[in-house]
Amino acid sequence: QRHLLGIEDLAPDEITAILDLADTYVDLNRSDVKHADALKGLTQINMFFENSTRTQASFELAGKRLGADVMNMAVGASSVKKGETLIDTALTLNAMHPDLLVIRHPNSGAPALLSEKVNCAVLNAGDGRHEHPTQALLDALTIRRAKGRLHRLTVAICGDIAHSRVARSNIWLLGKMESRIRLVGPATLMPSGAADWGVEVTDNMAEGLRDADVVMMLRLQKERMDGGFIPSEREYFHRYGLDAEKLSFAKDDAIVMHPGPMNRGVEIDGTIADDINRSVIQDQVEMGVAVRMAAMKLLVDARRAA
Ligand code: CP
């Protein structure tokens, strides 16, 4: 691959290669000297047109730990605010000869559009409702390390599926790895046509979580609801918020995941999120750095080999 635009484009063996390399970077990141030189001499530019804590910080750390020169473009202080288009902004940065361009953008398809205009590798850090490929890869690494495999697991993805790029990337990835996927959420937050995606769909948490190996909770993404129906948080928590009672329907050793940022008391009870025997939410953050290191290293290798 020359870019990482979505999980849809990846073959199962490409996913496995990223996860295998990321496993080695987990060890590096836990060591005293967190440096390798796989990206030494290369330039990485991060362009985040939407807010981010985890993705932006981990892409920056990932590049720095592999020896790249990393520049975070301050979108709010850039000429985008003077009306410069996304394409012109990217062409301007491209003229500075970056090797890796990481982009988060509210519009689905923005990273793919840029990838046709620039000479470097483009990594999608989340585009609209479309995909968030490195999130699905870090989720997969977290699941594989906790469960020892990715195939033949029952994974319940719960909440606001309609507005979630995390859900879409995970559905692609877990489907390619032959896991059983259940989408659980109110009909108003379920994409039309979801039943045709090769997944099970239900609006009932007890049914959706029954015997699940993995319970993945999603945030209500109000910023993408465009004035549409927004449920009351109290009612939503009552019916769809993960608490001990709802989690009891899953397997006894089921893990609880959340991509973050989470809204405690809305989609998840804080005590469940903090329960180190069930929650792997902090592991997901840790895996994020390793997966982004692996993705960038493999893209650079592929370009050098081409
Ligand atoms: N999971 C995720 O994308 O988090 P951020 O928005 O903080 O990057």
Rounded-to-5 percentages of helix, strand, coil across the chain: 45, 15, 40
Binding-site sequence positions? 54-55, 82, 104, 132, 135, 165, 219, 260-261
Q: Verify whether ligand 1 is closer than 6 Å to residue 204 (CB atom).
A: no
Chain segment 172-219, per-residue pLDDT in tens? 999 999 999 999 999 999 999 998 999 999 999 999 999 999 999 999
Give the position, in ligand 1's atom list, of the atom nearest the Cα of 260: 1
Q: What pLDDT shows up at residue 78?
A: 87
Q: Taking the CA of residue 280 as centre, how many other CA atoms within 13 Å lie in the half-sphere pointing to its CB?
A: 23
Alpha carbon distance 228, 248 (integer Å)? 32
List Cβ neighbours of 138 (8 Å cut-off, separation of 6 or more): 284, 287, 288, 290, 291, 292
Q: What pLDDT shows up at residue 222?
A: 80
49, 50, 53: which to mutate for ligand 1, most atoms within 8 A of CB? 53
Atom 5 of ligand 1, nearest CA residue: 52
Give me ligand 1 centre to Cα 264, in Å: 16
Q: Which range is least confidently modeled, 48-62, 105-119, 181-195, 226-240?
A: 226-240
pLDDT at 5 over 90: yes
pLDDT-derived band at 228, boundaries 50, 70, 90: low
Q: What pLDDT shows up at residue 291?
A: 98
pLDDT-derived band at 229, boundaries 50, 70, 90: low
Give the position, in ligand 1's atom list, of the atom nearest the Cα of 53: 7
Q: What pLDDT shows up at residue 132?
A: 98
Q: What pLDDT shows up at residue 221?
A: 84
Give me ligand 1 centre to Cα 83, in Å: 26
Spell out a b/e string for 74-89, using b for 16 or more CB atoms within 10 Å of the CB, else e: ebeeeebeeeeebeeb
Give me ligand 1 centre to Cα 306, in Å: 32
Q: What is the DSSP letter of 266?
A: T
Give me ligand 1 centre to Cα 305, in Å: 32
Chain segment 121-147, per-residue pLDDT in tens? 999 999 999 999 999 999 999 999 999
Complete edge-to-edge strand list for the sheet that includes strand 100-105? 69-73, 43-48, 100-105, 121-127
pLDDT at 226 over 80: no
Which among 65, 55, 107 is positioned nearest to 86, based on CA atoms?
A: 107
Percent above pLDDT 90 for the chain: 92
Mean pLDDT of 282-304: 98
Q: What pLDDT shows up at residue 43?
A: 98
Pairing of strands 100-105, 214-217: unpaired
Torsion angle of the four alpha carbons 29, 31, 35, 36, in this order, in degrees rounded to the nearest 10? -80
pLDDT at 8 over 70: yes
Give me ligand 1 centre to Cα 204, in Å: 27
**The token pair that represents 40 in the structure block:** 């030494």
Chain segment 142-163, per-residue pLDDT in tens? 999 999 999 999 999 999 999 9
Alpha carbon distance 282, 257 (integer Å)? 9
Atom 3 of ligand 1, nearest CA residue: 55
Chain segment 81-103, per-residue pLDDT in tens? 899 999 999 999 999 999 999 99
Q: Coil, strand, or helix at residue 71?
A: strand
Interface ipTM: 0.98
Binding-site sequence positions for L-aspartate? 82, 165, 219
Mean pLDDT of 67-92: 92
Percent above pLDDT 70 for the chain: 99
